[in-house]
Amino acid sequence: MASASPVSPPGQQAPEASVSANGWSGQAPAFSPLYQQIKGLILQSLQQGEWKPGEVIPSEFDLAARFKVSQGTVRKAVDELAADNLLVRRQGRGTFVATHAEQQIQYRFLRLMPDTGSVDSEGPAQRDFIDCRRQRASADVARLLGLRAGDPVLQARRLLRFKGVPTILEDIWLPGGPFKGLTAERLSQYHGPMYALFEAEFGVRMVRADEKIRALTPDDSQAALLEVDSGTPLLSVERIAYTYNDVPMELRRGLYRTDTHHYRNQLS
C-alpha cells in the first residue's frame, strides 16, 4: 500500500521521509529517493544472507507490504538491483538472487574478448594453478584488502589458456579468514567459475570490482609462462573485487596477451 509523503505549510519544503526494515521510521537526515532506501534494505537482507544466491526473493507485493511502500517503489528498487546483476528476473517464476554460476553472470568481470568469434564460441578457459599458499600479507596487499600487514592471506597464481594458448597470467590474494580451508587442490578440482566456488562454499559473493589498467613488459618468468618474448607489451590489469557493503575480498593482478584478444568495456 502506498504511503503518503508528509505535507508542509505553504512556502516550506516537506522533509524527506525514511523507511526502515519495518516500515516508516520518521525523517531522514539527508534527502534520498524512497526507492533507493528500499534498494538499500534489500541489499542489507542480501548481505545478511536472508536470501542466498540462487534463491527466490519475496514478491514485489510481499516486499511492498513488508516495507509499507507501493509496489512501484519496490519494482524500481528491484530493477536497479537486476541491472547491477545482483538479482535476476525469470518470467513466470519470480526474482532470484544472482549467482556467479549463471552464464550471464559468470563472465561479468572478464573483459578480454577474442578478436574473432565470441566468448561462447571460444569455449571455457583451461585453468592451471601454478602455486597456492598461505602467507602473511605485505603492507601493499594488506592496504588494498583492508587488512593489517602480517594478517594471513591466501595467494594463488594461475594461468588461463584459450584453445591451448596461454593468454592470462594471474596472481590472486584472498583474506585468510573468510576463505579458511581453501586449498590449491580444491581450486583445481572445481570446474566452474572461481566466484561461484566462493559464494557456494564460503558464502562470499563478489558484487562489484574496481580495475586499474596499464601496459608493461613481463619479467623472464612471466614471459616464459605466457610463451612470449620478454619485450612483448602486455596489458596489466589490477582488480579489487568487493562483496556487499564495499568490503574488499580479492586482489587480482593479471597480465593479458592481446595478440589474439582485446579488452572490451561497454560504457553507458
What is the tens place of the pLDDT at every residue in 204-229? 888 889 999 999 999 999 999 999 99
Residue 9, in any domain of the structure: no
- pLDDT surpassing 60 at residue 82: yes
Same domain assignment for residues 245 and 134? yes
What pTM does this model have? 0.72
* Other Cβ atoms closer than 10 A to 212: 10
Residue 139, in any domain of the structure: yes
Closest to 19 in 3D by CA, of 2, 8, 86, 57: 2
Q: What's the order of all strands across the beta sheet hosting 152-162?
A: 126-136, 152-162, 165-175, 247-256, 234-243, 208-216
Q: How confident is the model at residue 47 (pLDDT cuts 50, 70, 90)?
A: confident
Expressed as residue numbers, the domain containing 251 is 103-263
Identify the pLDDT of residue 192. Answer: 79
Query: In the chain, how many domains are there?
Result: 2
46 Cβ contact list (under 8 Å, min separation 6): 86, 97, 205, 244
CA dist., res. 66 & res. 78, Å (int): 14
Identify the pLDDT of residue 100. Answer: 65
Same domain assignment for residues 62 and 192? no
Domain boundary among 71, 97, 123: 97
Cell 588494498 sits at which residue?
144
Same domain assignment for residues 138 and 75? no
CA dist., res. 47 & res. 81, Å (int): 13
Same domain assignment for residues 120 and 32? no
Domain boundary among 81, 97, 113: 97
